[in-house]
Structure 1
Amino acid sequence: MSTITSSSAASAASATVAADNAALQQAMQSVISGATGNSSLDVNSLVTALVNSKTAGQVAAMAAKQSSDNTQISAFGTLSAALGALETGLSSLSNGGLASTFTATMTGGTGITATAKTGAVAGSYSVAVSQIATAQALTSSKFTANQTLGSGTLAISLGSKSFNVSIDSSNNTVAGIAAAINGATGNPGVTATVVNGTDGAHLVLASSGSGAASTISVAVNNVTGDNGLSSLGVTSTASTTGGQSSIVSANSSNAWTQSSAAQDAEFSINGIAASSSTNAVTSAIAGVTLNLTSAAVTTPATTQTLTVATDTATQASTINNFVSLYNTVVTTMGTLAQYTSGATTQGPLLGDSTLNTIKNTLASIIAGGVKDGSTTNSLGSIGISLQADGTLQVDSTALNNALTNNSATVASVFNSTNGIGAKLSTSITNFTQTGGMIDARTSALNSDLKSLTTQQTSLNDYIAQLTSQYSAQFTALNTLMATTSNNSAYLTQLFGGTNSAGALATNK
């Protein structure tokens, strides 16, 4: 625990004691004056001065310690914030993600975009799209808007999932049925709407998900008072080859039509046929997402080129950000531990063992490098040099050269096992976590403040007791001095003094 006390607080304490001593001298002069002719004492000033002189040292010491503790708590908060920002910036430098930073670029056509992430491999691929994935939509034949269709149960399925909707007099219109479907418990993703055309109202059912397997079927059961409800039955059949779904209506005179078929996206990668139930294709190429749109489907088919390459610009930006955040930590620690010769105020954590431990640990990691077999790779090997003040400096040309031509060394320096980022992140967690070094120091300082509060209460009680005691004593003294002064005057009047013969002498 630091033993450094704020010099400004100590100066304030000394000034307080000096002021109290001056007040005490003035008050004691009151006693001297009272003893040499004045008839009364300045009791309040005398008591205040005596009490302050007796307790000023303790009061000033407590105030100085409270100020020092609060200043150190604030300083550790500042340090913790800087360390936390650095740890956040180390994310991809501590988990090995830096080496998996790629760009994905499409050329030679339109309708396809691509992104690359962890797991991608640099390379070039030919992509051709023959169809995109779509979601099924079914449209019923016409009904009048207020037509009551009867009562019964609709058993609706979407792919392998199903749910039931009860239809009765409260919801047996086209609009009522649509609302009942949308509000049904267990609905896996069938959306119902009503489209009002010139010929009447049509019930439209649509799947929330695309793909050949996401087909909609409706079975109508237990129908009573049938006035069109039974015509809502429809069976959809998924294509086994990923193509378009087909439907069979339960009532040909009130047939459903398939306005959009359920189908998979179909495409080829380097001539290899592939399919996907969605247009966001994540499984075809490891670490790459292809986003397909209808613009990619042309006649004849257009073959586009996907290029996956290392994203050196993002890697350089990530490393530069790390250097900036690390330098912020170094300068923050320097300010908190600053010593200025002759200054009244020094750094709040000057000489603090916790700060020194953190500083030395981080510096050791930065300077130590990373063992890779018989080779040690350092930050210097990728263009980052350590300065005399402990900060880092980036040679952009050397860093970009390392990222482009020596990626293995960069990957080694920031590997997820014993890389510089991983070791820094682990150390920072140990420093800043609950129960860590900073938390322990802050808890100790807060405990000290709590103890000082208790001591302050006891001191206040003592001051009150001392004030009462002195007030009683000097009030009594003041009364005695006044009585003595009166008696002295009376005796002088009777017997005479230096300038008077006295009444008795005159009458003798």
Structure 2
Amino acid sequence: MSSISTTSTAASTAAANAALQSAAQSIISGSTGNSSMDVGTLVTALVNAKTAGQAASLTAQQTSDSTQVSAYGALTAALDALQSGMAGLATGATLSTFAATASGTGLTATAGTGAVAGSYSVGVTQIASSQALSSAAFGATTQLGTGTLTISLGSQSMNINVDSTNNTLAGIASAINSGSGNPGVTATIVTGSTGAHLVLRAANTGAANVINVSTSNVTTDNGLSSLGVTSTASTTGGQSTITSANSSNAWTQSSAAEDAEFTIGGIAASSSTNSVTTAISGVTLNLAAASTGTTQTLNIAADTSAQSTAINNFVSLYNTVVTTMATLTSFNSSSSSQGPLLGDSTLQTIQNTLATIVGGAVGSGSTGSTLAAIGITLKDDPADGTMVINNTTLSTALTSSPATVASLFNSTNGIAEQLNSSITNFTQTGGLIDTRTTALNTDLASITTQQGALADYTAQLTSQYQAQFTALDTLMATMNNNSQYLTALFGGANSAGALASANNT
């Protein structure tokens, strides 16, 4: 039990003893006839005298156990944050990150898994676009007739039933947008000086994604059949073409369906989208504008900025773990306060394990590397345990000695992987922390049981004492009354008594 718990128990015992002395005085007073006995105070004092020490001891232990459980929770949270934050370093993924930069405009790129360092000459001659068609002009409220419209995009299609409730341009547009199985065509109404136009747009880019509209079962035709249009996709990735069902009410193509066309190192390539993931392994090209006749340089290089950020984050999270452990094991002699895990063997094991890993070398002999080689060292105060980082040294290592950095953080026995494995052993079910907190929780459950039993005993003892001392108080009151009667009758030290006075007369 901690010194604070011992002090608390002693104080409770002292208070109970003081109350017991006061109760004893109540008995003396009652027995000498000075006053009636204070049964309630007496019972409370006697019960407290028998139970206060145990109750205070259980409460103190309960507080101590609960504080330790919370302390282990704080330590686990810090360890989990470190483990999560260094995941990329533990697997080696962070040191495999690359950055992609383009020399011109109209082209950006991102490098991901599988990318390798290199330089590429990229020329974009055409970007992918989606088709947009505009119908001939109609009156905004003109009822165009009834029938069926079949709307298709590429190989997918849907049927729209046109009846008297939706046979205006606005009704047809609404039916297309809300149609079940819409293949990816949106419809809007654009009103100009000549009237209202139905505008259809394909959701997807690419030469193959062309829009076709056909009509069938048309009755009371007032322009519905002229909404038919046939689009022909280019077989070479170029612009789509259209043929209207009614040449006098012809559709126009405001934007053609076409593929992106580009070259990489002189090799021609195409894509139905402007986000190209298959041209360069591990690299996504984002095409924004054509640059016919010119090329630009795309460089893929190690992303030292992201790597530096990840390593700095690792150091920061490790230091948080160290400072958390320092707080949990602190001691202040002037105020007699201490951390809840001061002297705890489980925490000491964790502390020593982590310190050994970050202070050790990866590899052996002349091939071994330490964190100091990339600018990460312990603070000058050996008792502190936190690390400091020289970002100039780290930057130099990342650019000039990437093999050293890769060795330190390799996915087999690198610093981060060693820490990751150790933290898992600490925090997993059945691990060091779980074993300790399970024992504490078991003790807390036992304390709760003991407190329940003590409460029952207290209630029983109170009832027993209440009955005993109530009877005693009644007896002493009767005896005092009898004593006063006899004194009045026969006399006492200062009185002759009623019988003596009667004889004298």
User: What TM-score, normalized by structure 2, do the two folds share?
Assistant: 0.92
Contact preservation (8 Å) 1:7, 1:346: no
Contact preservation (8 Å) 1:432, 1:439: yes
- Structure 1 gaps of 5+ residues are none
Query: What is the aligned partner in structure 1 of residue 269 from structure 2?
Result: 274
Residue of 288, 297, 313 corresponding to 2:283: 288
Structure 1 residue 152, shift from structure 2 partner? 2.1
Distance (Å, rounded) in 2 between the aligned partners of 1:431 and 1:482: 69
Distance (Å, rounded) in 2 between the aligned partners of 1:452 and 1:75: 19
Query: What is the aligned partner in structure 1 of residue 291 from structure 2?
Result: 297
Residue of 112, 116, 122 corresponding to 2:111: 116
SS of equivalent to 2:11: helix
Structure 1 residue 190, shift from structure 2 partner? 0.7
Distance (Å, rounded) in 1 between the aligned partners of 2:146 and 2:430: 67
RMSD: 2.3
1:9 to 2:5 alignment: yes
Query: What is the aligned partner in structure 1 of residue 221 from structure 2?
Result: 226
Contact preservation (8 Å) 1:178, 1:193: yes
- Higher deviation after alignment, 445-454 or 46-55: 445-454
Distance (Å, rounded) in 1 between the aligned partners of 2:429 and 2:177: 48
Structure 1 residue 276, shift from structure 2 partner? 1.7
- Higher deviation after alignment, 226-235 or 189-198: 226-235
Q: Letter of the aligned partner of 1:27 in structure 2?
A: A
Structure 1 residue 356, shift from structure 2 partner? 3.0
Distance (Å, rounded) in 2 between the aligned partners of 1:451 and 1:248: 86
- Higher deviation after alignment, 236-245 or 432-441: 432-441
1:381 to 2:381 alignment: no
Distance (Å, rounded) in 1 between the aligned partners of 2:446 and 2:151: 71
Query: What is the aligned partner in structure 2 of residue 105 from structure 1?
Result: 101
1:443–1:297 CA distance, 2 compared to 1 (3 A): same
Structure 1 residue 504, shift from structure 2 partner? 3.2
Structure 1 residue 75, shift from structure 2 partner? 0.9
Q: Letter of the aligned partner of 2:294 in structure 1?
A: T
Query: What is the aligned partner in structure 2 of residue 252 from structure 1?
Result: 247
Per-residue deviation, residues 414-461 of structure 1 (Å, max 9, x unmatched): 122332222323333443456654345444434433443333233222
1:383–1:236 CA distance, 2 compared to 1 (3 A): same
Per-residue deviation, residues 315-342 of structure 1 (Å, max 9, x unmatched): 2222111111101101111221234457
1:162–1:430 CA distance, 2 compared to 1 (3 A): farther
Residue of 310, 313, 334 corresponding to 2:326: 334
Match runs of 1:424-463 below 5 Å: 424-433=419-428, 436-463=431-458
Aligned residues: 500
Q: Percent identity over the alignment?
A: 66
SS of equivalent to 1:114: strand
Residue of 194, 199, 203 corresponding to 1:204: 199
Query: What is the aligned partner in structure 1 of residue 55 from structure 2?
Result: 59
- Higher deviation after alignment, 428-437 or 182-191: 428-437
- Structure 2 gaps of 5+ residues are none
- Higher deviation after alignment, 80-89 or 369-378: 369-378
Structure 1 residue 103, shift from structure 2 partner? 2.5
- Higher deviation after alignment, 400-409 or 368-377: 368-377
Match runs of 1:18-97 below 5 Å: 18-97=14-93
Per-residue deviation, residues 358-398 of structure 1 (Å, max 9, x unmatched): 32332343234334899433323322224523322223333
SS of equivalent to 2:337: coil
1:53–1:385 CA distance, 2 compared to 1 (3 A): same
Q: Letter of the aligned partner of 1:289 in structure 2?
A: T
1:326–1:505 CA distance, 2 compared to 1 (3 A): same
Per-residue deviation, residues 191-234 of structure 1 (Å, max 9, x unmatched): 11111111111111101111111111122223233222222222
Contact preservation (8 Å) 1:158, 1:217: yes
Query: What is the aligned partner in structure 1 of residue 484 from structure 2?
Result: 489
Distance (Å, rounded) in 1 between the aligned partners of 2:230 and 2:392: 66
Distance (Å, rounded) in 2 between the aligned partners of 1:144 and 1:307: 55
- Higher deviation after alignment, 369-378 or 63-72: 369-378
SS of equivalent to 1:192: strand
Distance (Å, rounded) in 2 between the aligned partners of 1:436 and 1:280: 47
Contact preservation (8 Å) 1:6, 1:348: no
Distance (Å, rounded) in 1 between the aligned partners of 2:377 and 2:16: 57
Distance (Å, rounded) in 2 between the aligned partners of 1:433 and 1:176: 62
Query: What is the aligned partner in structure 1 of residue 358 from structure 2?
Result: 366
Distance (Å, rounded) in 2 between the aligned partners of 1:305 and 1:173: 53
Distance (Å, rounded) in 1 between the aligned partners of 2:43 and 2:218: 102
